[in-house]
């Protein structure tokens, strides 16, 4: 499905399988995705405000140059997701898997529990240019 440059306000999705959905340039406001399959979804240059993703599979999603404001990722699989040039304000990640993700330097300012930071330490260190040695 392609929903490029569209607008969704006060929308709710539950248990939806939307692998490969194209939200490029779309505005999402006051929306929630609960238990959805959103892997390979394109959020490039999208604007997300007050959006909640809960228990979603979002592996290999693309948030290139996306603007996220007050977005919550709760218990989501975000493996191999691209965050290049994204901006996050007042946003939070809890219980999320960031393994293999790229562009993590762009998630500056996101709020995460310490246990999640430790779980994603390898990816965060790589994004910061830190070389981890034994």
pLDDT band at 1 (very low <50, low <70, confident <90, very high): low
In the chain, pLDDT over 70 holds for what percent of residues? 99
Give the model's pLDDT for residue 42.
97
Residues 74-83, buried b or exposed e (16+ Cβ, 10 A)? eebbbbbbbb
Per DSSP, the three-state class of 122 is helix
Residue linked to tokens 């599979």: 57
Question: What's the CATH fold of domain 7-128?
Answer: Pectate Lyase C-like (2.160.20)
| CA 134/CA 48 separation, integer angstroms | 40
DSSP single-letter state for residue 10: S
Domain boundaries along the sequence of the chain: 7-128
| CA 107/CA 50 separation, integer angstroms | 17
The average confidence (pLDDT) of the chain is: 95
Residue linked to tokens 């993700």: 101
Q: What is the mean pLDDT of residues 86-113?
A: 96
């Amino acid at each position: 499905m392609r929903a490029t440059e569209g607008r969704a306000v006060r929308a709710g999705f539950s248990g939806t399988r939307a692998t490969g959905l194209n939200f490029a340039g779309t505005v999402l406001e006051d929306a929630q995705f609960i238990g959805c399959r959103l892997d390979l979804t394109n959020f490039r240059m999208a604007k997300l405000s007050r959006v909640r993703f809960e228990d979603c599979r979002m592996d290999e999603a693309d948030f290139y140059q996306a603007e996220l404001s007050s977005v919550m990722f709760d218990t989501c699989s975000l493996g191999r997701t691209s965050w290049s040039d994204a901006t996050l304000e007042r946003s939070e990640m809890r219980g999320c898997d960031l393994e293999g993700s790229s562009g993590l330097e762009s998630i500056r300012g996101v709020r995460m529990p310490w246990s999640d930071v430790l779980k994603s330490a390898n990816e965060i260190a790589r994004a910061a240019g830190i070389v981890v040695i034994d």
